[in-house]
Structure 1
Amino acid sequence: MSRRKGIMSHQLKEEIAKELGFYDVVQQEGWGGIKARDAGNMVKRAIEMAERQLPNNNL
């Protein structure tokens, strides 16, 4: 079974986890240890960051 390459860089994921306050869990348990809600909030934050980077942000 092949593993898909992640869209977010490892550095970006760590940055967002620190910002959202669950990086300690990642350090202790790995990414599989975070709650589904935290993962969802991480995706939302990454989308917000990407949308701000778009030229002519007419969303």
Structure 2
Amino acid sequence: MGRGRGIMSEQFKEELAKELGFYDKVKQNGWGEITANEAGSMVKRAVQIAEESLKRDRT
């Protein structure tokens, strides 16, 4: 995958950052300023959302 192309949409990433409490940092400084822990939290939450969605779709 080339640099600058991601799996998550910009809107989804912004929603996750808001939910996790560091959107202001992203808004002010860009995505390059988030910590590895914050990025990991985003991925973990995205996986949780995907799993919940799959679970709902199966019922």
Q: TM-score, normalised by structure 1?
A: 0.84
Please state if 1:7 is matched with 2:7.
yes
SS in 1 for 2:7: coil
Q: How far apart in 2 are the matches of 1:38 and 1:52?
A: 21
Q: TM-score, normalised by structure 2?
A: 0.84
- 1:16-56 CA-partner distances (Å, limit 9, x unpaired): 00000000110111000011100000000000000111133
Q: Where in structure 1 are there 5+ consecutive unaligned residues?
A: none
Q: Which runs of 4+ in 1 moved over 6 A?
A: none
**Identity within the alignment, %:** 61
Q: How far apart in 1 are the matches of 2:17 and 2:8?
A: 12
Q: Where in structure 2 are there 5+ consecutive unaligned residues?
A: none
> 1:1-59, aligned counterparts within 5 Å?
2-3=2-3, 5-54=5-54, 55-56=57-58
The 10-residue stretch of structure 1 (47-56 or 25-34) with the greater mean CA deviation from structure 2: 47-56
Number of positions where the alignment pairs a residue of Structure 1 with one of Structure 2: 56
Shift of 1:4: 5.3
